[in-house]
Every structure is written in structure tokens, then in C-alpha cells.
Amino acid sequence: SQTIHQWPATLVQPVGSPLSLECTVEGTSNPNLYWYRQAAGRGLQLLFYSVGIGQISSEVPQNLSASRPQDRQFILSSKKLLLSDSGFYLCACSRQYNEQFFGPGTRLTVL
Amino acid sequence: DAKTTQPNSMESNEEEPVHLPCNHSTISGTDYIHWYRQLPSQGPEYVIHGLTSNVNNRMASLAIAEDRKSSTLILHRATLRDAAVYYCILRSRGGYQKVTFGIGTKLQVIP
């Protein structure tokens, strides 16, 4: 079964600083990959999804970007963080219409 | 995407059955009904899914209405570890599998 790794687990960054969150997947090939953000007490907001290497679709216009340099690697980035970027960032993977598997998440606090 | 409606919160006594409802009146014929749950400070985990027939697994049962416009997740004996936010979502079989998570139902289990 697949395993999703995310790092770092927690991160505190000042406003205006860059961001790079990494997600890697084991135990599956050619997965669909997703980045979600969850603000405190809120539901999950889909940020980006990818169906293959170099293929990224954005769901919400914002100052974040995503890249998929390898089949099982998904990176979330920002050049300049905003206070509103604080939240719990989750990476997920799935195969076709099957269930999604989520990583442990990264808790980002922007000060 | 077809949307789902769930109560914001529910309570249950420990060791009693719990019925978590979900309405999805705009469900299409190719939509699968998925349930996930999210424990505090963790990513969501898959619980169960179904298309038309009721489904059982080691975690829960899923009862799907005959017209498929609603479903119910059944936890047969609630334990304190079942306290979580439960999400009901729809996943289409065709094409890319974008998934939208709402706010879900926060289940409180009372000892």
C-alpha cells in the first residue's frame, strides 16, 4: 500500500519569506497527486492537482505554485508568504477513482 | 462537482451506534459516495465507499438510499477513538478525480 511522506512537519515563517513543502509517495506509480490546505476549523481546500509529471492544475488563484519534477514527488512553493497562507497543508494521492490517501501534513504558521 | 450536505456536528454516547447522514441530491450516475474521517491534527483517512449497494467493512457500514440522493455512515459501536470530523464526498468515475471536501460532521463521543 502507498505511503505519503511530507516535510517538514511544522514550519514557522515570516511574512514575505519563500516556502517549499515537499511530498513524496511510495508504493504506487503514476498516481494523481493533490495539495490541500485546511485553515483552522475549516474544511479542506483543494489547491493543486497533478495527473502526471509536469502536469499541474490550479484550483485557486493565489501566490502559491506547485511542481511535479518526478512521478512520485510533489512540491508546493511560494516566493513570498502572506499571513493568510497559514494553515495545515496536506498532500494526497489516488489511483483513478479509488480512495485518496493523505500524508501526515505540514502545519505552517506565517508571522 | 456534485455537492454534499452534512450536519455540522453530532453527539453519541460511547458504545452506542452512530448514524451520520449525508445528502447528495445532485449526484450523477457515475458518482461514487466516499466517506473519510479526520482525527485532530492528522490528515483524513479513508473509511468506506459505495455506488448503489450497501457496503460493510471493518470500520463502518454505508447505507445508500435507493434513489442515491442520500447516504448514511453507520458506526456500530462508537468508541472515543471515533471522535473525528467525518466527510462525505462524491467522486466521479470518469476522467480526472477532483475531490471537494466540505466542512464535514464533527462527531463527539461521550463516555
Please write the tens of the pLDDT for every residue from A57-110.
988 868 999 999 999 999 999 999 999 999 999 999 987 657 889 999 999 999
Chain B nearest-CA residue for A52: B96
Mutate to test the interface with B, among A100, A107, A109 (most CBs of B within 10 A): A100
Burial B60-79 (b: 16+ CB within 10 A, else e): bbbbbeeebebbbbebeebe
Determine the average pLDDT of the residues in B71-79: 96
Task: pLDDT band for B84, please (50, 70, 90 cuts).
Answer: very high
Q: Give the H/E segment covering residue A75.
A: strand A73-78
Give percent of chain A above pLDDT 90.
71
Going by C-beta distance under 8 Å and a sequence separation of 6 or more, which residues neighbour residue A15?
Answer: A80, A81, A82, A83, A110, A111
Tell me how far apart the alpha carbons of residues A31 and A20 are, in angstroms, rounded to a whole number: 21
CB contact under 8 A, A44 and B34: no
Smallest Cα distance from A52 to chain B, Å: 11
Smallest Cβ–Cβ distance between A32 and the set B44, B93, B97 belongs to B97
Determine the average pLDDT of the residues in B32-53: 92
Q: Which pLDDT belongs to residue B2?
A: 60
